[in-house]
Amino acid sequence: MASPSKPRSPFGCFVISITLVHFIASITSLGTCQSLVEESSTSDDTNTKAFFIFGDSTVDSGNNNYIDTVPENRANYKPYGQNGYFKEPTGRFSDGRVIVDFIGEYEKLPLVPAFLQPNADYTNGVNFASGGAGVLAETNQGMVIDLPTQLRNFEEVRVSLSEKLGEKKAKELISEAIYFISIGSNDYMGGYLGNPKMQESYNPEQYVGMVIGNLTQAIQVLYEKGARKFGFLSLSPLGCLPALRALNSKSDKGGCFEAASALAQAHNHALSSVLKSLEQILEGFKYSNSNFYDWLQERISNPTNHGFKDGINACCGSGAYGGVFSCGGTKEVEDYELCENVGDYVWWDSFHPTEKIHEQFAKTLWNGPHSSVGPYNLKRLFSNIKVIKARTIADVVDRQETGEQGIFQQ
């Protein structure tokens, strides 16, 4: 006699996966998942580590020095780089280093070269970022290396690594590398708020959807090429950049330009839910994200609590709040003022934070607690993680599932 078949809900699988997501979400918010992560022994750390960087002026290390663009999209002249960490201005939009320089230092990598820098060695990664670049090809078109082009440049590097190291080693390097993406601000500032035609064609929600849609595709392109570990710098309170605050000075008592900040927040929320989904869908996909928006807002509002004196004005610039983008070079407005003590300032120029902000935030991303960076911090991502949090829980649930239904067996 056949044993009676087990009663089975047609939605059993669906219910389980929803529960799983909630389960992970609740664990994540409690911050107790760290104990479920096991790292392999440090003996694996002899592997070559690589750091690939995509994005805009927040992370550009000098690519724009080599393209035909406007002076506003360049930073290879004084007083950029004035703190002397680098002998000459390098093209970084900062008084010194930018966030990815610190992260590279913490991982003890050699300085990651700009892709367009002649004779660059790509073995420990390369920086594809370009000041002014957006996710959308339309953003500052013709004056920047847009994200689709940055991805094509990565493909070129991937091929050259395969030739240099051999297929197997290159594949290993690609899958162990960190892919750091910091982009989107220019899509919302120049690409949307500064572009009446775009605003006629798309409402804010549609536009955010388009940016996030393209960003998601970019992540998938990298994943298909073997990338597994991603780091993201979410968008800052864009309306509080000195340049945007200055635009708003008539309507308010010097408050932030709220429409810009609202776009940044909508983008950040959409990005974090996309990342949560990708973690579920793409096998082996791991990432690090953070709430840069609140983190920076806190320093803008309460600078003295964090070692700053001024969270509003640019150290280098002119006009209200130093919001006129005039910090050296051959920009449209030539005159500018430079503050005496850059260490007091959150903002270096009208659009970009100081090295001190870059460093503080790099530290948070590197080994910050689960409340500020997650699901992984970058230190954990760089180390070899054998069993990952989601998978540990998922495995347990899946095993029960396969035992009953046998449909998840590989």
Ligand X SMILES: *[C@@H]1O[C@H](CO)[C@@H](O)[C@H](O)[C@H]1NC(C)=O
Structural tokens at position 59: 């992370």
What lies within 8 Å, CB to CB, of 333 at 6+ separation is 318, 324, 325, 326
For the CB of residue 141, give the shortest distance to ligand X in the complex, in Å: 10
For the question of residue 5 being annotated catalytic, the response is no
Nearer to ligand X, 146 or 355 (CB): 146
195 binds ligand X (CB under 6 A): no
What lies within 8 Å, CB to CB, of 376 at 6+ separation is 286, 287, 288, 385
For the question of residue 57 being annotated catalytic, the response is yes
Nearer to ligand X, 215 or 362 (CB): 215
For the question of residue 234 being annotated catalytic, the response is no
213 binds ligand X (CB under 6 A): yes
Q: Is the dihedral of CA 237, 318, 301, 96 positive or negative?
A: positive
394 binds ligand X (CB under 6 A): no
Q: Check: CB of residue 82 under 8 Å from CB of residue 208.
A: no
Which residue number has the CB closest to ligand X?
213
Stretch that binds ligand X, among 131-139, 238-246, 274-282, 402-410 (CB under 6 A): 131-139
Catalytic residue among 101, 267, 350, 352: 352
Q: Which of 27, 137, 338, 393 binds ligand X (CB under 6 A)?
A: 137
Residue 336 DSSP one-character state: -
Q: Which of 53, 59, 99, 136 binds ligand X (CB under 6 A)?
A: 136
Q: Check: CB of residue 137 under 8 Å from CB of residue 63.
A: no
What lies within 8 Å, CB to CB, of 334 at 6+ separation is 326
Phi and psi of 58, rounded to 5°? -65, -25
- Quick one: which of 260, 249, 354, 280 has its CA closest to 311? 354
Catalytic residue among 290, 349, 350, 358: 349
Nearer to ligand X, 211 or 246 (CB): 211
Catalytic residue among 56, 57, 290, 326: 57
Nearer to ligand X, 53 or 208 (CB): 208
Stretch that binds ligand X, among 34-42, 195-203, 208-216, 226-234 (CB under 6 A): 208-216
Q: Which of 117, 162, 195, 214 binds ligand X (CB under 6 A)?
A: 214
Binding map of ligand X across residues 153-192, x = CB under 6 A, - = no contact: ----------------------------------------
Nearer to ligand X, 126 or 210 (CB): 210
For the CB of residue 138, give the shortest distance to ligand X in the complex, in Å: 5
> What angle in degrees, to the nearest 10, is found between the helix axes of 99-106 and 355-367?
40
For residue 303, say if its preceding peptide bond is cis, omega within 30 degrees of 0.
no
What's the rounded Cα separation, in Å, for the pair 134 and 136? 5
What's the rounded Cα separation, in Å, for the pair 288 and 49? 17
210 binds ligand X (CB under 6 A): yes
Stretch that binds ligand X, among 22-30, 136-144, 146-154, 368-376 (CB under 6 A): 136-144
What's the rounded Cα separation, in Å, for the pair 95 and 100? 14
For the CB of residue 142, give the shortest distance to ligand X in the complex, in Å: 14
Residue 324 DSSP one-character state: B
Q: Which of 13, 66, 138, 148 binds ligand X (CB under 6 A)?
A: 138
What lies within 8 Å, CB to CB, of 125 at 6+ separation is 49, 50, 51, 52, 53, 104, 109, 112, 177, 178
Binding map of ligand X across residues 217-256, x = CB under 6 A, - = no contact: x---------------------------------------
Site residues, ligand X (CB under 6 A) = 136-138, 210, 213-214, 217
- Catalytically active residues are 57, 349, 352
